[in-house]
Structures are given as C-alpha cells and as structure tokens.
Amino acid sequence: MLEALEGAPRLLVDAILAPIASTTFQPTGFPDLGAAEFQRPGSPPSLLVESVQSLANHFESLGWDDSERLPINALARLPFVEVVHSDDGRFLTSSRLEPHRLAAAYVREATISGSTGAALIAERLGLQKETPLDWPRIYRTVLQLDPLCLLHGVFFSAQAWHGNPKVRRALTAVIEATDVAPAVSGGLKRDDVQFTSAEGRGAEEGYGFVPFGRTEYTAGEIRFRAVVDLAQIRGYGLTDPETRLLELIAIWELAALLSGPLRLRTACDLDPQRIEIRRPEGFALPAAEDLLLEVESAAVAVHFDNPGALRASWPAPKGK
C-alpha cells in the first residue's frame, strides 16, 4: 500500500475546503490577538483558520474512543500511559489526551510502578548529567511508552529530565484561507423576565438584554496543507515493522481527517472538496478504512514490552 512512498522524504497533501452551512466561517482565535490575519507580499489578505497544534489534537482524537476512555480497537495494542486518581482509581487523563503527552504534569508527577513518572521516564530514556543524549535509546523508549509521541511530538522539558530531549512532530498540518474579508454581524441575548437588570444582577450574572458583536470571515479559497515527514520517521532507527506501523498510522490519520466534514468549531464546519498530492508523484491517498485495517495488522507485527495501558496514579503520595 505504501510502495509509492519508498525513498520519498515527504508526503505532501493539500485539500480544498468549503463551508457546509454557509459561505462564512469562524477561524481560530487567540487571547489578546483575535483572528490571525496576515498578508503575503503581493497577495490578498490571508487568515489562519486552524493552527498546527490544534490540528495535531484533531489527528490524535481519531484514535481515541471518548465514550470508552480507551484507544480505538485498531490501536489497542499500542502502549500509552493511563492516569487514574490515586484515591479510587477513577480515570483522569492519558498520554493520548494531554497536550504534552508523555511529558504532561499528570504523568510526570504520578506514581508509575513504584516510582515517580519523572524518574521512571528519565531512567528509561537514559538521561544522566554529563552524558550526551542517546537518541536511538530515546526513540526506542518513546516507542515502548507511547509510539504516537513519535508522530505528534513530545518535549521532555522539566528539570528532572537532563538535556530536555525533544521529538518534533512528524505529521503536521495547517488550514489557511486566502483572499479573506470579515463578515461582521451581531445578536441580542434576550431576557423576557427582567427587561433591565435589577438588584445588582446584570449581564455578568446572565440577566437583562445583552447585545453582542460577532466577526466571521469569507474567503476566496480555504486550503488544508499537511506534511508527513517520512525521512524523520525512518531516521528513528527502528525496525522495518515499527517504521511501517508509524508511517501507516500517520497516513491513516491524514486520510481519516479528510474523509468527512471537519467540524472545527460551532461556526466552522468545513467539507473537503478536492484532495491533491503534491509529492511524491504517482501516490494516491488510500481510503481511511483500508488504511485502518493495515494499521491493525501492522501493530500485531511489532513487539511491545507492555502492550496497552501503563497505569499511573495521580497525585503521588507526599514524599515521592
């Protein structure tokens, strides 16, 4: 299925998107900044619709079953860290849900196999003062703790981790719009019980009539761009079955995200209209369901020391 990618350093995929419900859409926004508008030299105004970090979260969510609080069946054999409360064992989070993945505070400050998460990870990664980082060991250890961190990145930035090793994302994507213009509108929150606020109860408490403004955008084109860094994945120095598994998961996540509407926000529901492979020539993106079957089969061919969940208890007892 991946024969056309042999020797290719990157897989570059574009998709043209269009709003489903209307011709306007709500872009991502940032505190104190608002929408991320920008201008390329000699080009019409552009806009960031969805950031790299946000799309990484969307990719990761494809492999997680929220209702079961577990990975989907095809990824069930892959290791990950499950964080439960130390009082009663109730589920809290996991390395598949946390923004910092294996480096998350809930993993770092939990108890895992009688040790703190920070100490256990440092030991397994081989992090020692006055010792260069052993990158082959780091990559193999991350594979055995949560292989999806080798696709979506992880930064061991705490003081407990000498050298602060960082694995950058091997799968990145962004959505940008060009030739954009704001579509300004507004509305009114009604209160037919109290037409005016009274007795110190106003808009902050949810009382009274509250007018509000709203800014969405129109665009000449909305384009999704994704890169799978195949050279990076192959550069981990893993076995052929392990490398193939990572490549399959990355391409499956890409195909799955583009197989249906992208509901990014309430007023940002985008539909892929056309998918383009920029590199390599001759490659066609397989169907997501076919790729998922390949992923499940490839996972069986990889040896994991401890398949499935490694339990971490948070918070750790005082003194740990």
pLDDT in tens, 24-51: 988 888 777 788 888 889 889 999 999 9
In this predicted structure, what is the pLDDT of residue 200? 64
In this predicted structure, what is the pLDDT of residue 111? 96
CB 129 within 8 A of CB 135: no
What end-to-end distance do the CA atoms of the chain give, in Å? 48
In this predicted structure, what is the pLDDT of residue 213? 66
In this predicted structure, what is the pLDDT of residue 35? 86
pTM: 0.91
Residue range 157-165: average pLDDT? 94
In this predicted structure, what is the pLDDT of residue 197? 59
Asked if the model's pLDDT at residue 204 lies above 70, the reply is no
Residue range 76-95: average pLDDT? 96
Residue range 261-271: average pLDDT? 88
| Dihedral-angle region of residue 271 (phi above 0 means left; psi in -120 to 50 means alpha; beta otherwise) | beta
Residue range 54-73: average pLDDT? 95
Asked if the model's pLDDT at residue 320 lies above 60, the reply is no
Greater confidence, 241 or 27? 241
| Domain residue limits, the chain | 3-182+219-314
Q: How confident is the model at residue 145 (pLDDT cuts 50, 70, 90)?
A: very high
**Cα–Cα distance between 313 and 90 in angstroms, integer?**
10
Strands (E), the chain: 10-19, 29-30, 34-39, 45-50, 64-65, 70-71, 80-85, 91-94, 111-112, 115-116, 154-155, 166-167, 171-189, 210-229, 262-265, 268-279, 309-314
Greater confidence, 22 or 186? 22
Asked if the model's pLDDT at residue 265 lies above 90, the reply is no
Asked if the model's pLDDT at residue 212 lies above 80, the reply is no
Q: How confident is the model at residue 143 (pLDDT cuts 50, 70, 90)?
A: very high
In this predicted structure, what is the pLDDT of residue 267? 85
Per cent of the chain over pLDDT 90 is: 73
Per cent of the chain over pLDDT 70 is: 93
Residue range 230-238: average pLDDT? 97
